[in-house]
Structure 1
Amino acid sequence: MSKFARLLHLVDSSIPTGSFAYSYGLESSLTFGLVKNLFGLRNYLYSFLQQVVSLEFPFMNSCYKIELPDLGECLKVIAEEYDAMMLVPTIHKASTVQGKNWLKLLESFYPDAGMGEIKIWFEKQKLPLHFVLVFTLCLKRVGFTLQDIQAMYLHMTLRDQVSAAIRLGFIGPMEGHRLQHDFYTIFDNLIEVYQEKEYYEATRSAFLLDTSQVFHEDIYSKLFQN
């Protein structure tokens, strides 16, 4: 019960990792008419989640399989490959900001779990602290299963997108939370499909979403950073 309660705390929207500062392409998609109605928002969210599992999950799987405390050459290859796939500069920056915040937060929550070793390793390798990588490495150190970590990550990414749509005034709070509730029905299938894939099988699947993220800088007045 205590472990489940800690998991609920870590997925709380008030956790200060910085994720609520970004819309990850949703604001520009609404601004430039790529998403025009609720049907379009549903399609957007489905494409967004598909890209999350096809791109992020293989890296999470590979990170989780690394035997601790030794990080070694294997993680270096994974971290370099992930960094190379962060094609949009603002998303690259967001990932590293959240990664640093997450590591700092988990280090304060679990001072005996050796989170500082992760930071030192990345600094020695001169590699960015990307959120997906440190998210997985940290939660494995405190005993969460890979399936819990993946479900937690999907929940957080979906929640942030729905919250962005609400704060942008595109949908109301009740409609937004009903939409979020509906999308939980596909979580098990998404996780199952990508449960065994490794980092070298990661793919980007939503190129229009990537394009909308680039266009974010052209918005005259912005509510989110990206």
Structure 2
Amino acid sequence: MQLVRLLHLVDSALPTGSFAYSYGLESSFTFGLIKTPVDFRQHLYAYLQQVASLELPFMHSGYTLPELGEELRQLAEEYDAQLLVPTLHRASVTQGKTWLKLLTSFYPDAQLPKISAWFDTQQLPLHFTLSFTMALKQAGFPLADLQAVYLHMALRDQLSAAIRLGFLGPLEGHRLQHDFYAVFEHLLSEHAGKQYQEASRSAFLLDTTQSLHEDIYSKLFQN
């Protein structure tokens, strides 16, 4: 039943805010960086590679480090320093707060407000990746499942954005989602067990497209 509950929590229908962000995809389409289906497949692979190499090590450390101590403070500072694009930084913090409130309503006995209180005391932003990991750990979910569904959310949200932007049809989008699950095992085996000190950004062009988002005349997404 734990897996079923986790699938419910990461369902796109829950109001976590991820539907509002394209993470640079809209500007990539607008400025011609993605023009063809082949371009989009390459974008998806690069995007998932960066999610795996950056987020999974922070999730591993955030799950295994002693709770609410000096080591966690260092981890949180390092993660914050990784998010150099202002719009991406704002989106991460907004989703982090929303996620913790959502989980608190579902798991009132898990003492999740202690997480946000600690981050406020330390004057550190509570980013989504850390909020996601720490809250679900407190709720009793295993790390391996959290890392797998995090990749699932990353892939799903990019494809949903592409569909809403009119680049893909719904059936084509779901077929791509099915195909890309084949790369998850490789990404997880390579990055899931790393510590946050081994995290890396691997697709700097994605950061560039996110920074270009502010120059779009008409926006469907916030980022």
Task: State the Cα deviation string for residues 189-209 of structure 1 (Å, max 9, x = none).
Answer: 101101221111111111111
Letter in 2 for 1:79: A
Match of 1:163 in 2: 160
Match of 1:53 in 2: 52
Task: State the Cα deviation string for residues 170-222 of structure 1 (Å, max 9, x = none).
Answer: 01000000001100011111011012211111111111111000001111111
Q: Does 1:140 align with 2:125?
A: no
Distance in 1 between residues matched to 2:58 and 2:6, nearest whole Å: 21
Match of 1:26 in 2: 25
Distance in 2 between residues matched to 1:85 and 1:74, nearest whole Å: 17
Q: Does 1:182 align with 2:179?
A: yes
Distance in 2 between residues matched to 1:195 and 1:174, nearest whole Å: 30
Letter in 1 for 2:55: E
CA RMSD of aligned residues (A): 0.8
Match of 1:6 in 2: 5
Gaps of 5+ in 1: none
Which has the higher mean CA deviation after the structures are superposed, 43-52 or 141-150?
141-150
The 5 Å alignment of 1:49-88 reads 49-67=48-66, 70-88=67-85
Distance in 2 between residues matched to 1:52 and 1:14, nearest whole Å: 22
Letter in 1 for 2:2: K
Gaps of 5+ in 2: none
Distance in 2 between residues matched to 1:138 and 1:66, nearest whole Å: 14
TM-score by length of 1: 0.97
Letter in 2 for 1:16: P
Cα displacement (A) at 1:4: 2.1
Letter in 1 for 2:211: V
Match of 1:223 in 2: 220
Task: State the Cα deviation string for residues 64-112 of structure 1 (Å, max 9, x = none).
Answer: 1023xx4110100000000011100000000000000000000110000
- Please state whether the residue corresponding to 2:108 is helix, strand or coil: coil
- Please state whether the residue corresponding to 2:56 is helix, strand or coil: helix
The 5 Å alignment of 1:72-151 reads 72-151=69-148
Matched-pair identity in %: 66
Task: State the Cα deviation string for residues 21-71 of structure 1 (Å, max 9, x = none).
Answer: 00000000011111011110000000000000111111111001023xx41
Distance in 2 between residues matched to 1:146 and 1:188, nearest whole Å: 15
Distance in 2 between residues matched to 1:109 and 1:143, nearest whole Å: 13
Cα displacement (A) at 1:142: 1.4
2:169 to 160, 169, 172: 172
Distance in 2 between residues matched to 1:4 and 1:82, nearest whole Å: 27
Match of 1:213 in 2: 210
Structure 1 segments, 4+ long, off by >4 Å, are: none
Distance in 1 between residues matched to 2:138 and 2:212, nearest whole Å: 38
- Please state whether the residue corresponding to 1:123 is helix, strand or coil: helix
Letter in 2 for 1:46: Y
Match of 1:15 in 2: 14
Letter in 2 for 1:10: L
- Please state whether the residue corresponding to 2:98 is helix, strand or coil: helix
Q: How many residues align?
A: 223
